[in-house]
Chains A and B, each alone.
Chain A
Amino acid sequence: MIPAPAFLANPERFMAFSRWAAPLLGATAVLVALAGLWLGLAAPEDYQQGATVKIMFIHVPAAIMAMFVYVCLGIASLLALVFRHALADAAAQAAAPIGAALTFLALVTGSLWGRPMWGAWWVWDARLTSVLVLFLFYVAYLALRASIDDEQKGARAAAILALVGLINLPIVHFSVYWWNTLHQGSTMMTKGALAPVYAGPLWLMNLAYLTGFGALWLVRIRGEVWRRRAEAAALRAARA
């Protein structure tokens, strides 16, 4: 294991670390988001897309984070399956609802951007469809965990499902290259594809979403740790 996760694998150390890291990340997210929104909303209208280009500052970070959170969910699920580590399982469980919410945002803001640009709220385009599949994987993960009464069995089944879902990530990423899609190709990673007046606020918003996810993830893992401690204490009290 790499040093950082190994350090945080101890619940006591994790709780001590997340106690100050979560508010720090949250405050960073708010400040960076304010700067990104200020610059983004002050950016000039695009010569082709007009004012709708401003949807980019909330759509692109949501789409990137939808995939990034799934990578976190996959890694945490793998660690939970292989090492049977409770904190890794809590991390997977905590990541799923955030990932589902971000994927939902990517789909909805994309639809609101697509309607004036493409003339359609939705098309069965490879990118859109693969992101919808990603959303369904998140929903299936949450539903599977919730539907099995035995928490450990539910966690194992959901972790396996999460690992299967990893197959979809390269499909989402490369869909715009593998198939003829209405959705545009990647502009974030193509040098010079985006004018600095748009690229600056977009990178700020990406950072805001990343730090915001970090803060929310830590808070939700902390909640999971407390829940498990409460349930263990209740069990001890019942046996006494």
Chain B
Amino acid sequence: MPDFDFGKYAAYIWPAYLITAAVFAGLIVSSLGYARRWRRKAEELQRK
């Protein structure tokens, strides 16, 4: 079972994991958003 009790090092381990999660979340949202936005735009313009 995962052990989340990091003792005296919790102040270093939690931020490391949280910053990593935040950066990956940002990458996923921005990548999908960028692709979706331009796909919609391209399809809209190609229909005209």
Query: What is the interface of chain A, defined by CB distance below 8 A to chain B?
Result: 37-38, 41-42, 50-52, 54-55, 58-59, 62, 97-98, 101, 104-105, 108-109, 112-113, 115-116, 212, 216, 219-220, 222-224, 226-227, 229-230, 233-234, 237
Contacts and interface: CB of A to CB of B under 8 A. Distances in A.
Interface of B: 1-4, 6-10, 12-13, 15-17, 19-20, 23-24, 26-28, 30-32, 34-39, 41-42, 45-46, 48
A66 B29 CA distance: 20
Contact of B38 (A62, A108, A115, A230): A230
Contacts of B4: 41
A53 to B, nearest CB: 9
**Most A C-beta atoms less than 10 A away, residue of B1, B9, B42:** B9
Contacts of A116: 9, 12
A42 B30 CA distance: 32
Contacts of B10: 51
Contact of B35 (A62, A115, A212, A222): A222
Contacts of A98: 27
Nearest to A62: B20
A219 B20 CA distance: 20
Given A38-B2, A109-B19, A219 B32 contact: yes
A7 B27 CA distance: 27
Contact of A237 (B38, B39, B48): B48
9 contacts: A37-B2, A52-B13, A104-B23, A105-B23, A115-B12, A220-B35, A223-B36, A223-B37, A227-B42
B16 A59 contact: yes
Contacts of A216: 27-28, 31
Contact of A55 (B13, B32, B45): B13
Contacts of A42: 1-3
Nearest 4 pairs between A and B by C-beta? A223-B35, A41-B2, A233-B45, A226-B38
B48 to A, nearest CB: 6
A116 B6 CA distance: 13
B15 to A, nearest CB: 6
A157 to B, nearest CB: 22
Given A41-B4, A52-B12, A112-B16, 4 more contacts: A104-B23, A109-B16, A112-B15, A116-B9
A110 to B, nearest CB: 9
Contacts of A101: 23, 26-27
